[in-house]
Structure 1
Amino acid sequence: MTDVAIVGGGPVGLYLAALLLQEGVGVRVLEQRFERDRHSRAIGIHPPALAALERAGVARALVADGVPIRRGRAYSGGKLVGTMSFESVSRDFPFVLSLPQCSTEAHLERRVQDLDPTALARGARVTGITDDGDRLALAVTSGGASTQLASALAVAADGTHSTVRQLLGIPVTARRYPDHYVMGDFADAGIFGTDAVLFLEEGGIVESFPLPGGLRRWVVRIGEPRTASAADLASLVQERTGIGLDAGSSTMLSSFSVRSALARSMVAGRTVLIGDAAHEVSPIGGQGMNLGWLDGEALAPIICGAMAGGPVERRLRDFEVLRRRAAGIARRQSEVNMMLGRPLTGPWLRLRNFAMGAVASVQPLNRAVARRFTMQ
């Protein structure tokens, strides 16, 4: 028996667990993976999420391990189109932090273990959930044995293919986009320092972000979904930007197509969906993981109030309205990000570059765009 069962021990579930444990709420985190996925794609942590992570006691450690990106640059045809500074977006965290998700999860897991060494259960798969209106019962399979966990509330933070969402029969509204990407991490030649760089080229956008450990991530838009070798990706970057990468230095390769999805409901009785279980947005712009943390930040005080015997139904309805609205804003921003990166030729490419350069040159507009890009 526990106060709150959190299904999913990724960054969002672990974050919520840390917040609740700090307040004396009993938590059990059920994670079906036996170890963290080291081939994770998410790297960007925006200022509002860093402020939320500070409340869980991990933000400073994350900043110490990551690379603060304080400026973005955009190029086209070898010429600088514009720059964007993040210095004005936050007093405490005037940057976007670049840190691989596996490192972020490691910090959050240590924080949870410091608060309660027994809170995280790995290799635990939820196979059923029942709600009698007073308490939940979760059927859990672990180590070949089946057990039952009783809890007052449950939170599904188990990702885009959420088992809990499926068990509850909550449908999703999905949207697919004609956008496909390949990406990889390579040795950083140090050309761009710690800046994020966008190359707005006829064949489609190329994005580049610094990573810890002397690495840099490269993301290239392609016309059709396909896998690519390190040599293929290096060739695409060379063709569009003129920059040569050492294919032998690649430490990660991935390809993905883009879709968005929104669960019809984030609240079902005593169960709440957060993060990708509730809303999936395009990874272009790096908002998804951050959106999940902000879900957790908003949900934690509601759960604490419920544990103290306070009313919860109205607060959960308000939570759902606000977080669905936030997900809609994030989805629209990701759609703008993808649109700006699609292939353009001739006058249309020049017009887009002129518009972006004009916005970048007007400081109030530049700051407003920087705030929007960083989820302010």
Structure 2
Amino acid sequence: METDVVIVGGGPVGLYLAASLLQEGVSVRLLEQRTERNIHTRAIGIHPPALEALDGVHLADAMVREGVPIRAGMALSGGRTVGTMSFAGVSEDFPFVLALPQYRTEQLLEERVNALDSRAIVRGVRVTGVNDDGASAAVVVEPSSDATAGGGSFEASIVVAADGARSRLRDAVRMPVRTKAYPDHYLMGDFADSGRHGQMAVLFLEPEGIVESFPLPGGLRRWVVRLGQPAEGADAGRLARLVLRRTGILPDVRTNTMLSAFSVRSTMARRIVAGRVVLVGDAAHEISPIGGQGMNLGWLDAQALAPVVREAVAGKPVARRLKAFDAGRRRAAVIARRQSEVNMLLGRPLPAPLLRLRNLAIGGAASIPAMNLWTARRFTMQ
């Protein structure tokens, strides 16, 4: 099958890029291995630059109506307030971080894609290879294990890999990656929200390690606890007990709706353009979930790529623009990785004297308006 663009991966980044291109008249086939969507909340934070990008595909308003706008954050330690941070000055249109479960974000994006072209999304196919002759590229596919679709190939002017950190397409074109492991492990889950912190994000800076807490739609709140070693399994009771021990707050285990344990690593592709194949999102750069930058970085990749793709489809030479895209997005990924490393560093255990010094530094910075705004802008990817 011939089309202008093939996008491999039907997550939030691939769906956003498909919508962006389709509304400009570019034909797209989005290939997704899964036949059904993952309904776990997973990523929840949408930063202002990403909301501006999503506004370009006419979805920001709908997302804001359904999500929880987090307009401020607070750091606590030992039951006392260390500092607060307002997001009021980070954006004129979206002065907040929006909390919306990833599955709902994907639903809204998929509805938009289907409204633009009901045939654009092809589910139940797995990429097995790609052939690039310099003028076009053909993606070879076979049915995934849970599908009955047939095999074959899709030919396009540009092929985009948005198929995640373990990208098959990246492996198919043999793009090298650098992987870095971190001594940071987390257990997280969603529980009924008691309402004591309203719509505020809360960081509990405690001697045993950080506990993070974020409001979610539907009267839920996410709790994330740093562990000293990988969790052997995700257990709601254990998570609730850890939250209680460090914060004095006991989430109601009976209300748990999502549970996940993860260890942190980063994966950075040494290049993200290879001929007619381009990597975006986690396929190009896997970033620590702490700070919620990964999904947003992928959207900004796609936003930057869309005009280059339109020129390529129109037959214009784009080699220089692709080279600039490669360099620019890898720089952005390095900045995001550094910010995630700072976020993780602030959450690591400390002995009491050093914890007090760190809290004093955080409180002092938060009390200076210019520093508070600078920190808020960095946290929200400005």
Same fold (TM over 0.5): yes
Give structure 2 stretches of 5+ with no counterpart. Answer: none
User: Which residue is equivalent to 2:75?
Assistant: 74
**Hey, what's the Cα distance between the residues in 1 that align with 2:128 and 2:254?**
43
Once the two structures are TM-superposed, the CA of residue 161 in structure 1 deviates from its matched residue by 0.3
After superposition, residues 134-153 of structure 1 pair within 5 angstroms as: 134-142=135-143, 143=148, 145-153=150-158
User: Which residue is equivalent to 1:298?
Assistant: 304
Counterpart of 1:268 (choices 270, 274, 282) is: 274
1:154 is matched by which residue type in structure 2?
Answer: V
**Hey, what's the Cα distance between the residues in 2 that align with 1:80 and 1:139?**
56
Counterpart of 2:251 (choices 229, 233, 245) is: 245
**Number of corresponding residues:** 376
Counterpart check, 1:22 vs 2:23 = yes
**Hey, what's the Cα distance between the residues in 2 that align with 1:345 and 1:228?**
27
2:161 is matched by which residue type in structure 1?
Answer: A
**Hey, what's the Cα distance between the residues in 1 that align with 2:168 and 2:58?**
29
Secondary structure of the structure 2 residue equivalent to 1:283: coil
Moved more, 319-328 or 219-228: 219-228
Once the two structures are TM-superposed, the CA of residue 228 in structure 1 deviates from its matched residue by 3.4
User: Which residue is equivalent to 1:279?
Assistant: 285
**Hey, what's the Cα distance between the residues in 2 that align with 1:118 and 1:213?**
32
- 1:238-266 deviations in Å (ceiling 9; x for gaps): 00000111111100110000000101110
Moved more, 250-259 or 301-310: 301-310
CA gap of 1:109–1:144, structure 2 versus 1, over 3 A, is: closer
After superposition, residues 210-225 of structure 1 pair within 5 angstroms as: 210-225=215-230
**2:158–2:312 Cα contact (<8 Å) kept:** no
**Hey, what's the Cα distance between the residues in 2 that align with 1:234 and 1:53?**
35
User: Which residue is equivalent to 1:184?
Assistant: 189
2:5 is matched by which residue type in structure 1?
Answer: V
Moved more, 262-271 or 224-233: 224-233
Once the two structures are TM-superposed, the CA of residue 167 in structure 1 deviates from its matched residue by 0.6
2:280 is matched by which residue type in structure 1?
Answer: I
Once the two structures are TM-superposed, the CA of residue 148 in structure 1 deviates from its matched residue by 1.4
Secondary structure of the structure 2 residue equivalent to 1:145: coil
User: Which residue is equivalent to 1:195?
Assistant: 200
**Hey, what's the Cα distance between the residues in 2 that align with 1:327 and 1:38?**
27
After superposition, residues 1-376 of structure 1 pair within 5 angstroms as: 1-142=2-143, 143=148, 145-226=150-231, 227-376=233-382
Identity of aligned residues (%): 64
**Hey, what's the Cα distance between the residues in 2 that align with 1:134 and 1:89?**
42
**2:41–2:258 Cα contact (<8 Å) kept:** no
**Hey, what's the Cα distance between the residues in 1 that align with 2:153 and 2:329?**
30
Secondary structure of the structure 1 residue equivalent to 2:210: strand
Once the two structures are TM-superposed, the CA of residue 144 in structure 1 deviates from its matched residue by 5.3
**Hey, what's the Cα distance between the residues in 2 that align with 1:73 and 1:349?**
17
**Hey, what's the Cα distance between the residues in 1 that align with 2:286 and 2:153?**
30
Secondary structure of the structure 2 residue equivalent to 1:204: coil
**Hey, what's the Cα distance between the residues in 2 that align with 1:197 and 1:281?**
22
Secondary structure of the structure 2 residue equivalent to 1:165: helix
**Hey, what's the Cα distance between the residues in 1 that align with 2:41 and 2:219?**
18
2:164 is matched by which residue type in structure 1?
Answer: G
Once the two structures are TM-superposed, the CA of residue 309 in structure 1 deviates from its matched residue by 2.1
**Hey, what's the Cα distance between the residues in 2 that align with 1:146 and 1:297?**
30
Give structure 1 stretches of 5+ with no counterpart. Answer: none
- 1:107-139 deviations in Å (ceiling 9; x for gaps): 000000000000001111111110112221111
**Hey, what's the Cα distance between the residues in 2 that align with 1:128 and 1:324?**
24
**2:175–2:269 Cα contact (<8 Å) kept:** yes
1:17 is matched by which residue type in structure 2?
Answer: A
**Hey, what's the Cα distance between the residues in 2 that align with 1:148 and 1:274?**
21
